[in-house]
A and B are shown apart, each in its own frame.
Chain A
């Protein structure tokens, strides 16, 4: 029961984080479209790091 609540909290946290990353990257690309490639790579790296922590938390809570 509690681990399900924890999983929900992890999903909320990861969702907020991914939203921030994606939103800011979109803004940055809109501002500087010629830097889109670099911004995308940086975005994916940070999203992957966040995802790693989210999954680690999910596994530990299982």
Chain B
């Protein structure tokens, strides 16, 4: 009863926050900002009709933002969005709300410095907010070091919060009951699945317990973040390369710091080969330790980005069919229905991909950790040239 009440209050608070943010936005004269930018500059907010506008929309969606936007219509200065805190390092910490930018329409003044939001990046400008360009059409203004709480940071915190509440409830239930109820009945088989199908076979029966925390966290974090990306919230957390770099870096650090003597021996002095080959193997193996997490991060980033791009392209094709092809109403309705059905199917595939990518990231992390901690229980016999003599047990193990 009390929890249901809390939920209502939480939803109401979010709604109020967004509507407040909307009410703060002043309507301003359009001539205040520079005229060199086309209509696509405000990104998701504008009417999306042509091919260029569709690709600008997709580019904007894939980028991080200083606003958590639900709806916008930039032409009419209508925004339903939450301005997020801006943290800059520019002669000390500068902290202010992104609402000062008014979605890039005005120059933000803070502690005597002027900042302008231009194509999602913050530049230090003069009071008028002029942006000058070099020959490559890149702004020449200085960019202060920006470590703001951006949309992706908020989504990451949101995912962490969701995970905290889901698993706090699950963990608490084991004190009083042997079988969890409610959402816990969905989560428990997944936890056991990660343990029995991912951790135990790949890390090893004896050592898997130490790494269960990381594997479970990374599995559910990626899965929930992928699923949030399919909701109309319009988040794109795992499709951001910085986020996947962070995740892969954790795998790399855990692999490196929990590696045993055998692992390093196989990198720096590969047993069982000629000494010339041993020297050859050192750089190859060292690069190998880096390519493993690199493949991890690129796979997740590229898969999720590709999914979002395909989905938006299909939906954008509806409007492009209407405006660019200048066909009749009946035909454009036909196009719309066709692409919509296609988009629904792609969404269903993306649901599968969301789980599959979380599974693969966890599986490969477990595999890499397993390689680093595997101990060779029995020493192999070596012949006079140092080659390993595989015994029957080994060969049998490999196939059974």
B302 and A59 contacting across the interface, CB-CB below 8 Å: yes
A48 / chain B contacts, CB cutoff of 8 Å: 299, 360, 363-364
B302 and A58 contacting across the interface, CB-CB below 8 Å: yes
The A-B contact count (CB < 8 A) is 33
Does A1 lie at the interface of the complex (its beta carbon under 8 Å from any beta carbon of B)?
no
Can you name the residue of chain A whose Cβ is closest to the Cβ of B297? A52
Q: Whole-angstrom distance between the alpha carbons of A56 and B356 in the complex? A: 19
Does B298 lie at the interface of the complex (its beta carbon under 8 Å from any beta carbon of A)?
yes
Q: Which one of B296, B359, B367 contacts A52 once the chains associate, using CB atoms below 8 Å?
A: B296
A44 and B298 contacting across the interface, CB-CB below 8 Å: no
B299 / chain A contacts, CB cutoff of 8 Å: 48, 51-52, 55
B364 and A55 contacting across the interface, CB-CB below 8 Å: no
Interface residues on B, range: 10 to 19
Nearest CB of B to A56, in Å: 5
A49 and B363 contacting across the interface, CB-CB below 8 Å: no
Query: Using a Cβ–Cβ cut-off of 8 Å, how many residues does chain A contribute to the interface with B?
Result: 12
Q: Whole-angstrom distance between the alpha carbons of A44 and B355 in the complex? A: 13
B302 and A45 contacting across the interface, CB-CB below 8 Å: no
Q: Whole-angstrom distance between the alpha carbons of A55 and B244 in the complex? A: 14
Can you name the residue of chain A whose Cβ is closest to the Cβ of B198? A41
Q: Whole-angstrom distance between the alpha carbons of A56 and B297 in the complex? A: 10
- Name the residue among A44, A45, A53, A55 with the largest chain B CB count within 10 angstroms: A55
Q: Whole-angstrom distance between the alpha carbons of A21 and B306 in the complex? A: 22
Interface 1/0 per residue, B326-361 and A, CB below 8 Å: 000000000000000000000000000000100110
Does B303 lie at the interface of the complex (its beta carbon under 8 Å from any beta carbon of A)?
yes
- Name the residue among B296, B298, B356 with the largest chain A CB count within 10 angstroms: B298
B295 and A53 contacting across the interface, CB-CB below 8 Å: yes
Give the residues from 14 to 57 in chain A that come closer than 8 angstroms, CB to CB, to chain B.
Answer: 41, 44-45, 48-49, 51-53, 55-56
B364 / chain A contacts, CB cutoff of 8 Å: 45, 48
A53 / chain B contacts, CB cutoff of 8 Å: 295
Does B312 lie at the interface of the complex (its beta carbon under 8 Å from any beta carbon of A)?
no
B268 / chain A contacts, CB cutoff of 8 Å: none
A56 and B360 contacting across the interface, CB-CB below 8 Å: no
B298 and A52 contacting across the interface, CB-CB below 8 Å: yes
B295 and A52 contacting across the interface, CB-CB below 8 Å: yes
A58 / chain B contacts, CB cutoff of 8 Å: 302
A51 / chain B contacts, CB cutoff of 8 Å: 299, 303
B298 / chain A contacts, CB cutoff of 8 Å: 52, 55-56, 59
Interface 1/0 per residue, B296-334 and A, CB below 8 Å: 101100110000000000000000000000000000000
Q: Whole-angstrom distance between the alpha carbons of A48 and B363 in the complex? A: 10
- Apart from A44-B359, A45-B364, A53-B295, what 8 extra A-B contacts exist at CB < 8 Å? A44-B363, A45-B363, A51-B303, A52-B295, A55-B298, A55-B303, A56-B294, A56-B298
The 10 residue pairs across chains A and B that have the minimum distance between CB atoms: A52-B295, A55-B302, A52-B299, A48-B360, A55-B298, A56-B298, A55-B299, A51-B299, A52-B298, A59-B298
